[in-house]
Every structure is written in structure tokens, then in C-alpha cells.
Amino acid sequence: MEYFNITNQHLLIEVLQSWNGLSLEKLFRERWKAPKKLVHEWRMSKELMLNGNSVPWSTVLTEGDTISIPLLDDAEKENVKAADLGISILYEDDVLLVANKPAGMDTHPSQPGDANSLINGVAYHLQHTGQTCMIKHIHRLDKDTTGAVLFAKNRLIGSILDRMLEEREIKRTYLALVEGIIKNDQGEIKEKIGRDRHHATRRRVSPTGQTAVTHYRVLNRDSKKNLTFVSCTLESGRTHQIRVHFSHLQHPLAGDTLYGGRRTFPRQALHARKIEFTHPISEQKMTIEAPFIDSPEIFNVHLL
């Protein structure tokens, strides 16, 4: 076993050296910060095992020990309809995966019965590969934004990743083409974002909105086409954040007609290029990149 795997609907985890001296209780409550309800459920069921035995939660862990966590309820509660949508899986192990979302596709169903979203395509991949597990998206991308989306395959990993996202321990890097030539090589956009009262789906910069910070770096400038190629990271994850912030700077994303951009491309030129995080179980540094998947291409001709 290499740190963890799934066997007979149990997640088997090998205790790492960095967990030496921790009790089961401290591993779940302090290291992983697992939800109290979930921990209580496992305590009551007495199905959680250490080296094949049911032990008190005060038991101290030693490197090489094996923790067995039951996952049957996760599979039973799964209710995502599978659909063959040709989704590309960028990374996968027994507890999580990263998929490359195409343009024109929601991250999850927008209405009951819809089966054309990314999560439906990921559910098909799991079904096709014989995996009977739940699937949960940790974050979302706009319908016409492409790129990396992180998914969890069980409730424990889902809760850990949710907390990591909230505590900004998951870094996402976006690439965008914006209209006009940005003079500064890098910058920070720090403007609150709220709903636009005059438009159902649009957001706007608003003093009463939610705090939002976008950091950007210029990668290239195309004076002939009057476009700037930028890399962005977010300190927050507000709806349409990058689109709203660059529109506010009078540099709307190319193709983003909702926020003042010209119809240069069939969609807004925004791609979630990279996702970085520490794996919740192995604690290894993960860096996963999503290749461009537009046809015809939007970004490649603007790369340095």
C-alpha cells in the first residue's frame, strides 16, 4: 500500500511519520479538522479500525500503522447521473481527482434532470472504471471558463478539501486575454464584488459587496490585436471575480460580452490553468496543470 487505497469499501491509510505520537482523536479533529458529525458517526458505528482492530480513539499512532475507514454510506448517498461527455481526467487517485472542464458546460447540473454538466461526465468516468464512490466538486468554474476542477471521492476528503479551500490552502492560477494593453507588469485589484440589481446573473464592483482580491502578472502584450495575456491568482473566489475586476479596470476579458468585451472569441478568454495543494492524506505537494482544449485555439498563439 502506498499511503492509501480503497479495499472493500474501506479507505485504508498508512500512518505517516509526521503523525507519530498523535492519537486517532487528534488526527481526525486537529490534523484533518474533520466535521464533528462525521467523527461522531464513525465512533458510534465502531467500524473504524487500526491494524484490523477496533480501538479506543485515544490510541496513539505509530508510523506504518493502518487506519481503515468505512465508506459504504458515501456510495449509498451518491445520486449523480452518469453521462458520457468525453471528460479529460488530469489526475486521479483513490480519494480525489482533477478534471479539465470544457467550455459551454456547467460544473454541476443547473436544474433537476440535467445530465450535461462536468460532474455528470466525471460520474461516467467513475462508473466506466468500476468505482462505486461518491463524487463532489470542491469549487466551480463559470459555464464558459475552461480548466482544472478538483473533486473528492468520499466525505472525509471532501470535508478536508472544503476547509483547505476556505483557508486558502488550495491555489488556483488562471490565464486570461484582456482587451487593451495593460502597462504595469503586475498588479493587485482589490475591489468588493456584489450582485448587479439590474441584471439577474451579472456581478459588479460594489462598496457593500464581498471582499475580493485578484493578483495579476502580464505574460505578453499583443499590440496588433490590442490584447494583453495575463496570469491571475485569487485571494477569494467570488462569482465572476476575474471578469468583474478586469472590466472595472476598463480591460474586459476578450469575448466576454456580459462585461463589456467584444465578441473576439466564442466565449470569455479565461482558463483555469493550474491547481496546487498539499494532498490531504499523503501530504505530498500536488501541482496539476490543465492544457488548453479550445478548438479553434484561443490562447496558444499568444504564449511567449
Q: Give pLDDT tens digits for 131-144.
A: 989 999 999 999 99
Same domain, 157 and 83: yes
Q: What is the pLDDT of residue 73?
A: 64
Cβ neighbours around 297 below 10 Å, total: 11
Same domain, 32 and 119: no
CA 297 to chain centroid: 24
Q: How far apart (Å, rounded) are the C-alpha atoms in residues 121 and 88? A: 9
Sign of the alpha-carbon dihedral angle for 274, 90, 13, 1: negative
Cell of 87: 471528460
93, part of any domain: yes
Q: What is the CATH number of the domain that holds 16?
A: 3.10.290.10
Which of 45, 70, 95 is the last residue before a domain boundary? 70
Cα–Cα distances (Å) from 216 to 58, 97, 153, in that order, read 47, 27, 32
Per-residue pLDDT of the chain (304 residues; tens, 9 = 90+): 567 888 888 999 999 999 999 999 999 999 999 999 999 999 998 899 999 999 999 999 999 999 999 986 665 556 789 999 999 999 999 999 999 999 999 999 988 888 999 999 999 999 999 998 999 999 999 999 999 999 999 999 999 999 999 999 999 999 999 999 999 999 999 999 999 988 888 999 999 999 999 999 999 999 999 999 999 999 888 999 999 999 999 999 999 999 999 999 999 999 999 999 999 999 999 999 999 999 889 987 655 4
Same domain, 62 and 118: no
Same domain, 234 and 265: yes
Is-contact 256 247, C-beta < 8 A? yes
Region of residue 260 (phi > 0: left; psi between -120 and 50: alpha; otherwise: beta): left
DSSP 112: T
Cell of 81: 447521473
CA 264 to chain centroid: 28
Which tens digit of pLDDT belongs to each residue from 168-200? Answer: 999 999 999 999 999 999 999 999 999 998 888
Q: How far apart (Å, rounded) are the C-alpha atoms in residues 236 and 247? A: 17
Q: What is the CATH number of the domain that holds 242?
A: 3.30.2350.10
Q: How far apart (Å, rounded) are the C-alpha atoms in residues 154 and 18? A: 23
Residue with cell 446573473: 201
Pairing assessment for the beta strands 227-234 and 49-50 based on DSSP bridges: unpaired
Boundaries of domain holding 54: 4-70
DSSP 101: E
Q: What is the pLDDT of residue 72?
A: 65
Q: How far apart (Å, rounded) are the C-alpha atoms in residues 137 and 33? A: 19
Q: Catalytic residues, which ones?
A: 142
Number of domains in the chain: 3
What single-letter amino acid sits at 193? I
Cell of 301: 498563439
